[in-house]
Structure 1
Amino acid sequence: MPTALRICPLCEATCGLTLTIEGSRVTGARGDREDVFSQGFICPKGAALPEVDADPDRLRGPLVRKDGRLQEATWEEAFDTIAARIRPLIEEYGPDAVGIVLGNPNVHTMAGALYPPLLIGALRTRNLFTASTIDQMPKHVSSGLLFGDPFAIPVPDLDRTDHLLILGANPLDSNGSLCTAPDFPGRLKALRRRGGTLTVVDPRRTRTARLADRHVAIRPGADALLLAALVHTLFEEDLTDLGPLAAQVEGVEEVREAVRDFRPEAVAEACDVDADTIRVLARELAAAPTAAVYGRMGSSTVAHGTLGNWLVDVLNILTGNLDRAGGALFPLSATAPAPRPAGPGRGFALGRRHSRVSHHPEVKGELPMVALAEEIETPGEGRIRALVT
């Protein structure tokens, strides 16, 4: 039976797939063991691609609305219709009458990364909505405010760390997110084999939690409280050691004052984590020769996600583990320039404009997906009247 090697575009792990093909249909999907990046890993989303391909509701060609009904059309007809309708709409209502939605496959394919900026620039619309606002924008905001660049996101040095504290992530199922490495699950197992410590904070006992030396079953949404208590303990027990970072860091005393009331005993009930465990977590983090704190979606998609993500890196800084071997490193892209702080007077900014209806602030030029429906449905100047996705 014919097979085809492909890359899964559904998340940034971009795992290699071996697809089984029958005619024009995908009938099977398994991990590509020869893929140098994923090495055979496949998650439930990738394994479900045959069902997605065969879904009777899946679009297999353009549809154009004629006489009130969507009807099949050729690509030429579809593009002609778009050109005929969108230009007059922009001329009458302005470029913001067009909204753009970018989902995961737009970001995780080469073509998807190259062409949307050209389209956005040509349309000149400011109504851009992305999947990032659903799962990871708190990390971009905290990194922008802390490091001056929303893409300067530290990731744990998996191969050299002695102690890894994971919050709200399940890389044994996801193969890593905002921290992608070949065979992420195997690297966690190697950490334990070499005598390192793996601690997982997660309300659920996930596969990653079952692998860990310690699983802390926190109450959902309480990450920021736990992290603040860890920072408090570092200060209270004189466990901070910025090392070479000391000359680069400002505001340590302000952080000390900000967490003054977040004693482990004060947050224990709200976190469902006893005070002694919180203190042990802080002490182990400070005592490890090298350590890294890594938070992902579970620590972002909560009420205080930006604060929690900021505290993740505050812990890495206060223990001297930011930007050092075995700690949390700033990765270098194979294609993009290295993150760098903004020049004097040009720091990271957000909220330069707000959504029309509920006044949500933009971040990186993007508006939150939660605002999209009301921007379409609410009458008035600036209403979205056409959508590109």
Structure 2
Amino acid sequence: MTQAHAAREQTGAVTVPTLCRLCPAHCGVLATVEDGRITEVRGDPDNPLFQGYTCPKGRALPELHNSPLRLLASQKRQADGAFAPIGVDQAMDEIAARLRAIVAQYGPRSVAIYTGTSGQSYPGGANMAAALLQAIGSPMFFTPNPIDSPGKQIAASAHGNWLAGDLPFAGADTWLLVGMNPVISKANGVPFNNPAQRLKEEVARGMKLIVIDPRRTETAKRAAIHLQPRPGEDPTILAGLIHVIIAEGLVDREFIDGEVDGFDALAAQVADFTPEYVARRAEVPADQVTAAARLFATRRGGMANCGTGPNFSQHGNLTEYLALCLATICGRWPRAGDPVHRPNALLPAYTARAQASGPFQGWGYGTKLRVRDLTDAACGLPTAALADEILLEGDGQVRALICNGSNPMAAWPDQRRTQQAMEKLDLLVCLDVEMALTARLADYVIATKMTLETPGMTQRVEALKYYTIGIGYPKPYAQYSPRIVAPPPDSDLIEEWEFYNGVAKRMGLGLTMGIKYGFGRFDEAPPTIIDMAKSDNLTTEGLYEKICEKGRFTLDEVRRHPHGHIFEVNETVAPKDPDCRERLDVGNAHMMGELAQVRAFEFQTEHADQAYPFRLISRRSNNFLNSAGRRLPGEKLTRGKAYNPLFMHPQDLTELGLQAGDTVTITSRHDRIPSIVEPDETMRRKVIAMYHCFGGLVEEDDGFETHGSNVGRLTPADRQYDAISGIPRMSNIAVSVSRGWSKDV
């Protein structure tokens, strides 16, 4: 027992196992409770998967729970624009009445919901929000996915899925990461139970890591080959790797013949992407391109994963598709007899088969938006167009928006347009734990409970593998946590799902929540349907019981292991069904057409405009998850920098006559923002980077030293956007950098 632990015991503090839910990892942690307050969170050494690991964000849970900025009661905007407390029951009465009136006058489509990344902490919240919209009859349900990594689902629809899942990171002899830094972001690819340690172990064992990134990231420093290209050239490089592998006969011909369509179309389309062409265009050595291709194709195991940056930089769908094609032509999918990777625990058991679930319609169906000819897609409705759906007058205009654990003013592109949209709404409701940027514009802010005041479980993490390869628990792991603390005294808080159910009852609507499992038509468990009309007096604990009722292991079995548990599941991949005729497709016509456009693009012209000589790319921080945690008092996470600096190579600083700490103006063809420069030798020359989800309202730029600047301001939503997901160019933005800042220029 450590001295600190002994001191806690003497004061009557209690330390209990639980799980952090700030990001998709859901790390197992220990929480210390003293006098009804969370006083410390640290890694749980008895957790069999995380083994004591947690990150700075998780360790800041006590400060988040106890923050003086936390909302302890819901708020209503008054006639003078100020906010005043309102009881949550009264707020639901008023919101339900206003929604009922809006629907009666303008129709069901006038109501929309946007649920954010923080909604993943509460499994019932987003599902119940969708159920409310369904009961109203509105299709306008939006998520962060179409402005984050929409290419993953779109690429999967064009390529198809492999029903045995992906290959494990542990034990692979090579791995390719494109625009990813999982050491910091905890993203897919490297397992997120301590990704830095997992990566260190595998490299020490002999894994040869390949990284494509304009910055020498913490992950790239561990790579055997680091291609440090000009930003935006990810599809060019991947096409070049495929070219070399095909030209040198390094493909898995048996797998291609048995399971793959479109190989000849792919080979023809990458024929011009020679190492020399790729080198000239992406500004990387040709021999590095060849070496990376040979390394990936000739070593055992290994897959390719892409990050948020490539999805931000245009051609994200194509980049993700080519990564799948690269794995497929090398036969990088589990075969019959291999151990099942990522078997379910709290989700229903499934049969992992060594066969394809072929391509399916991934766009051009369902709800059609009124702008930019956008439709529903595999990634969801195009979120970048929601501001325009609010601003555009006429039939179908969105007039009421509920933001579920989300902050559009910080996260959406084109911040000026976003603020205009938020201010135009007839009704804006935010469910949040503080007066975040969007909440400041709301009519009602519903104060919600925080994670450790609610039960938690890991089922949602298991489900991530159905959305993209390379993410989720690598083993049949599960954990459940009861509520650790009660809400603060005299608070009036509600859980998200209870809010939606309460509003529905007041509107005279019955909610039915449906939960699907697996890859669409290959679901082996029927959906779970929860009829709220038959579930009076349902608690969150009871809701989770219903959500998990078809699980391989019951919630009771998981509860017996408060530190989490890796269950015994000794399954191997089943053989292909003899009647299966489905195949993976590496020659999808749409993707091949887009690759032809990439090849025909005059890339020299793209970089010829000296008025905008720098390329601004996205970057993740180890201390923040989007906008959460930035305003904690005591500099718990900001470490003295409440702003998001502009990272720039020291030589670029010198050329501009700048020094660390200087104020600068960053100008794109669309808008301008202030920042403070910071030297970073890991940056490629003429490439700069900033963190997203900072800044104040549009009129608050002069306060950038205290809240940073919104990078989304530099991006127009209606130009240079993807025709399927609607995501505009949010990285690889042409900008200029100049000394000083004046709001009036």
- With over 3 angstroms needed to count, the CA separation of the structure-2 counterparts of 1:9 and 1:119, relative to structure 1, is farther
Which letter does structure 1 place at the counterpart of 2:157?
G
> Is residue 168 of structure 1 aligned with residue 182 of structure 2?
no
Matches within 5 A, 1:1-389: 1=8, 2=13, 3=15, 5-20=17-32, 26=38, 28-53=40-65, 57-68=69-80, 69-112=82-125, 114-147=127-160, 155-177=166-188, 180-324=191-335, 331-334=342-345, 335=347, 347-352=360-365, 353-364=367-378, 366-388=380-402, 389=404
Q: Could you tell me which residue of structure 1 aligns to residue 510 of structure 2?
A: none
Name the CA distance, whole Å, in 1 between partners of 2:348 and 2:236: 35
Secondary structure at the aligned position of 2:42 is classed as strand
Name the CA distance, whole Å, in 1 between partners of 2:132 and 2:145: 19
Deviations along 1:264-300, one digit per CA (max 9) or x if unpaired, are 2112133221111001111111111323222222332
- With over 3 angstroms needed to count, the CA separation of the structure-2 counterparts of 1:263 and 1:365, relative to structure 1, is closer
Name the CA distance, whole Å, in 1 between partners of 2:56 and 2:214: 21
* Rg larger in structure: 2
Secondary structure at the aligned position of 1:30 is classed as strand
Q: CA deviation at 1:245?
A: 4.7
Name the CA distance, whole Å, in 2 between partners of 1:320 and 1:365: 26
Q: CA deviation at 1:368?
A: 2.4
Secondary structure at the aligned position of 1:67 is classed as coil
Name the CA distance, whole Å, in 2 between partners of 1:126 and 1:237: 49
Name the CA distance, whole Å, in 2 between partners of 1:48 and 1:256: 50
- With over 3 angstroms needed to count, the CA separation of the structure-2 counterparts of 1:134 and 1:337, relative to structure 1, is farther
Name the CA distance, whole Å, in 2 between partners of 1:158 and 1:206: 19
Name the CA distance, whole Å, in 1 between partners of 2:142 and 2:71: 22
- With over 3 angstroms needed to count, the CA separation of the structure-2 counterparts of 1:365 and 1:223, relative to structure 1, is closer
Name the CA distance, whole Å, in 1 between partners of 2:161 and 2:182: 28
Which letter does structure 2 place at the counterpart of 1:253?
D
8 Å CA contact 1:148–1:347 kept in 2: the answer is no
Unaligned runs of at least 5 residues, structure 1: none
Secondary structure at the aligned position of 2:72 is classed as coil
8 Å CA contact 1:13–1:177 kept in 2: the answer is no
- With over 3 angstroms needed to count, the CA separation of the structure-2 counterparts of 1:250 and 1:343, relative to structure 1, is closer
Secondary structure at the aligned position of 2:84 is classed as strand
Deviations along 1:125-175, one digit per CA (max 9) or x if unpaired, are 1111101112221101101121169xx795441122111111122222233
Which letter does structure 1 place at the counterpart of 2:133?
I
Name the CA distance, whole Å, in 2 between partners of 1:348 and 1:337: 26
Number of residues of Structure 1 aligned to a counterpart in Structure 2: 386
Q: CA deviation at 1:221?
A: 1.8
8 Å CA contact 1:105–1:112 kept in 2: the answer is no
8 Å CA contact 2:242–2:293 kept in 1: the answer is yes
8 Å CA contact 1:140–1:153 kept in 2: the answer is no
Query: In terms of mean alpha carbon deviation, does 121-130 or 348-357 score higher?
Result: 348-357
Which letter does structure 2 place at the counterpart of 1:360?
L
- With over 3 angstroms needed to count, the CA separation of the structure-2 counterparts of 1:172 and 1:343, relative to structure 1, is closer
8 Å CA contact 2:173–2:208 kept in 1: the answer is yes
- With over 3 angstroms needed to count, the CA separation of the structure-2 counterparts of 1:153 and 1:224, relative to structure 1, is farther
- With over 3 angstroms needed to count, the CA separation of the structure-2 counterparts of 1:93 and 1:136, relative to structure 1, is same
Query: In terms of mean alpha carbon deviation, does 129-138 or 186-195 score higher?
Result: 186-195
8 Å CA contact 1:36–1:182 kept in 2: the answer is no
- With over 3 angstroms needed to count, the CA separation of the structure-2 counterparts of 1:370 and 1:119, relative to structure 1, is same
8 Å CA contact 1:128–1:365 kept in 2: the answer is no
Name the CA distance, whole Å, in 2 between partners of 1:132 and 1:24: 37
Q: CA deviation at 1:42?
A: 2.8
The alignment-based identity, stated in percent, is 33
Deviations along 1:228-281, one digit per CA (max 9) or x if unpaired, are 000111122222124335311111000011111111211213322111100111
- With over 3 angstroms needed to count, the CA separation of the structure-2 counterparts of 1:156 and 1:358, relative to structure 1, is same
Query: In terms of mean alpha carbon deviation, does 4-13 or 219-228 score higher?
Result: 4-13
8 Å CA contact 2:210–2:225 kept in 1: the answer is yes
Q: TM-score, normalised by structure 2?
A: 0.47
Query: In terms of mean alpha carbon deviation, does 92-101 or 208-217 score higher?
Result: 208-217
Q: CA deviation at 1:44?
A: 4.2
Which letter does structure 2 place at the counterpart of 1:374?
D
8 Å CA contact 2:169–2:191 kept in 1: the answer is no
Aligned residues: CA RMSD: 3.2
Unaligned runs of at least 5 residues, structure 2: 1-7, 405-745
Secondary structure at the aligned position of 2:219 is classed as helix
Relative to its length, the structure with more helix (as a share) is 1
Secondary structure at the aligned position of 2:368 is classed as coil
Name the CA distance, whole Å, in 2 between partners of 1:21 and 1:270: 57
- With over 3 angstroms needed to count, the CA separation of the structure-2 counterparts of 1:333 and 1:222, relative to structure 1, is farther
Name the CA distance, whole Å, in 2 between partners of 1:369 and 1:5: 37
- With over 3 angstroms needed to count, the CA separation of the structure-2 counterparts of 1:178 and 1:7, relative to structure 1, is farther
Name the CA distance, whole Å, in 2 between partners of 1:188 and 1:369: 34
